[in-house]
Amino acid sequence: MIKHSLKQLAAALAAKQLSSAELATLFLDRIEQLNPRLNAFITVDREKSLAEAKAADARLAAGETAPLLGIPVAHKDIFCADGWRTTCGSKMLANFVAPYDATVIARFKAAGTVSLGKTNMDEFAMGSSNETSFFGAVKNPWDEAAVPGGSSGGSAAAVAGRLAPAATGTDTGGSIRQPAALCGISGLKPTYGVCSRYGMIAFASSLDQAGPMAPSAEDCALLMNVMAGFDERDSTSLPREKEDYTRDLDQPLAGLKIGLPREFFADGLSAEVAQAVEAAIAEYKKLGAQTVEVSLPNMGLSVPVYYVLAPAEASSNLSRFDGVRYGHRTSDYKDLLDMYEKTRAEGFGAEVKRRIMIGAYVLSHGYYDAYYLQAQRIRRLIAADFATAFKQCDVILGPTAPTPAFDFGEKAADPVAMYLSDIYTIAVNLAGLPGMSIPCGFSDNGRPIGLQLIGDLFAEAKLLNVAHQYQLNTDWHTRMPEGLK
């Protein structure tokens, strides 16, 4: 049952082969057994989860039908969920219990899904390895000496280890796609504005986007049908007609034009990843797709641009955490300013402090024009590069990450090396485009390798189709770690 797709689980529930409460219990038992090893979950509340499952069973018994009714889902601990501790992986919010639901959470509740708990993450979504969480690092289920990627590493590890059949994540510079690649699952970062950010604790508001994480593209399409949609409470939400993201899954790929950016296959890409991606390209050619070389000439600037813009927005967004209204407050202070300083010094970890300081610097008088404004100009150029490329192709294909999962501590002392692990994903966020990672192989030491697919604005259904057709002809997405079966 733990290897069933969402569609198979829904069919089993509809056929009364098991109840939602029994299904939730199965996964809650796996969490209890395996989470001490993987540290994928921060908060689990069996009583709350089983109450939601029993409510779903009542809806099923009344004859209600919905694609995800009664299905258990894990949620990244960046989404506020009414009555659940919502920490954002930080000491600052270690005891914060959300008083309301994020729109994404509310939509999953309305669809009748069952929350299995809140998954671990890099503190305030700042990281590429899940080593910055106040609650400890998440282990990669394929190799517990390796990082799972970040910041949605807890969600990726939970799905890869089958502690949950699916999970939510967020992606600011690759935080769904990179951990999906490193853990051997599928993950989709939608077009900016397609999924509501209301109730999603902000890191960089112009880049953050919620998305689904699951074993397969088909599962991600079902999750997107629940998550996506206009929300008047989010000023960045786009007023668009509701889509069925499963509608094109079975379309053949004959005549599909796949763009291969020369910048994705240059220095820095490991031989193992390059070999797996080349094999995936050969598979797509068998399915009738054609390849064309394209160029993204400003992609090399995406990392420095991101690490100007994202910290600038973070320094503003995180100013609210001051010990006055909610979250951590220092116990020993002389006056209000002393309380602010000590609270933030105690509540934030080193990576968060680093980014706040960078952000405050680039926004300061005398440096705004030189750094922040210049970065915004280059961001426009990066978006224009993609627009030009999509005149020549339907989707862009390349590696998700330059290497398979790296060992714990390997890059922790070198922030720049850590930042470069997102070199292939960041440009997608800067341009607001949809991007997806799917598994396409393994390294010599058994660590997963991810294939990235990038689409034009609102091309999620196309990406899911391209990914699904590949997965119908390969089995990388069906594999799971031997030690966790």
* Predicted confidence (pLDDT) at residue 27 exceeds the cutoff of 90: yes
Q: What sign for the dihedral angle of Cα 219, 168, 204, 398?
A: negative
Do residues 177 and 400 make contact, with C-beta atoms less than 8 angstroms apart?
A: yes
Residue 168 forms part of a structural domain: yes
Residue range 315-363, pLDDT digits in tens: 999 999 999 988 999 999 999 999 999 999 999 999 999 999 999 999 9
Query: Average pLDDT in the 255-272 region?
Result: 95
Q: How far is CA 460 from CA 6, 65, 84, 484, in A?
A: 19, 25, 31, 32
**Mean pLDDT of the 225-248 span:** 97
Asked if residue 87 belongs to a domain, the reply is yes
Average pLDDT over residues 129-157: 97
Q: Is residue 204 part of a domain?
A: yes
Q: How many helices (H) and strands (E) does the chain have?
A: 15, 11
For the ranges 5-19, 172-186, 393-407, 412-426, the lowest mean pLDDT is seen at 412-426
Domain count, the chain: 1
Residue 289 pLDDT greater than 90, yes or no: yes
Mean pLDDT, residues 164-177 taken together:
98
In a domain, 67, yes or no: yes
Residue 193's CATH number: 3.90.1300.10
Q: Are strands 167-171 and 257-261 parallel, antiparallel or unpaired?
A: unpaired
Q: Report residue 483's pLDDT band, with 50, 70 and 90 as the boundaries.
A: confident
CA–CA separation, 431 vs 366, rounded Å?
Answer: 27
Residue 485 has pLDDT above 80, yes or no: no
pTM, to two decimals: 0.97
Over residues 280-297, the mean pLDDT reads: 98
Q: What is the reported pLDDT for 103?
A: 98
**Directed axis angle between helix 20-38 and helix 153-160, to 10°?**
120
Q: Which of 200, 193, 199, 205 is nearest to 230 (CA)?
A: 193
User: Does 64 reside within a domain?
Assistant: yes
Query: What is the pLDDT at residue 256?
Result: 98
385 within domain boundaries: no
Query: Which residues, in sequence order, are CB contacts of 84 under 8 Å at separation 6+?
Result: 43, 45, 48, 97, 98, 115, 118
Q: Are the C-beta atoms of residues 167 and 141 closer than 8 Å to each other? A: no
Give the residue ranges of DSSP H helices in 240-349.
271-286, 302-317, 336-347
Secondary structure class of 288 (helix, strand, coil): coil
478 falls within a domain: no
Tell whether 205 is covered by a domain: yes
Structure confidence at residue 420 as a pLDDT band (50, 70, 90): confident
Structure tokens at 408: 């714990």
Question: Which helix (H) or strand (E) element contains residue 348?
Answer: none
Non-local (6+) Cβ contacts of 239 within 8 A are: 230
453 three-state secondary structure: strand
Report pLDDT for 415.
Answer: 85
Other CB atoms within a 10 A radius of the CB of residue 428 amount to 28
CB-side neighbour CA atoms (13 Å) of 424: 33
**Could you give the CA distance from residue 452 to residue 440 in angstroms, rounded to a whole number?**
10
Whole domain around residue 106: which residue ranges? 6-255
Q: Which residues contact 184 (CB under 8 A, 6 or more apart)?
A: 142, 160, 439, 442, 448, 450, 476, 477, 479
* Gap between the Cα atoms of 114 and 23, Å rounded: 10
pLDDT tens for residues 43-82?
999 999 999 999 999 999 999 999 999 999 999 999 999 9
Q: Is the pLDDT of residue 416 over 90?
A: no
Three-class SS state of 473: coil
Q: Nearest Cα to 217, choosing from 484, 456, 434?
A: 434
* Phi, psi for residue 267 in degrees, rounded to 5: -60, 145
Amino acid (one-letter) located at 289: A
Q: Write down the mean pLDDT value for the chain.
A: 96
**Catalytic residue set:** 76, 151, 175
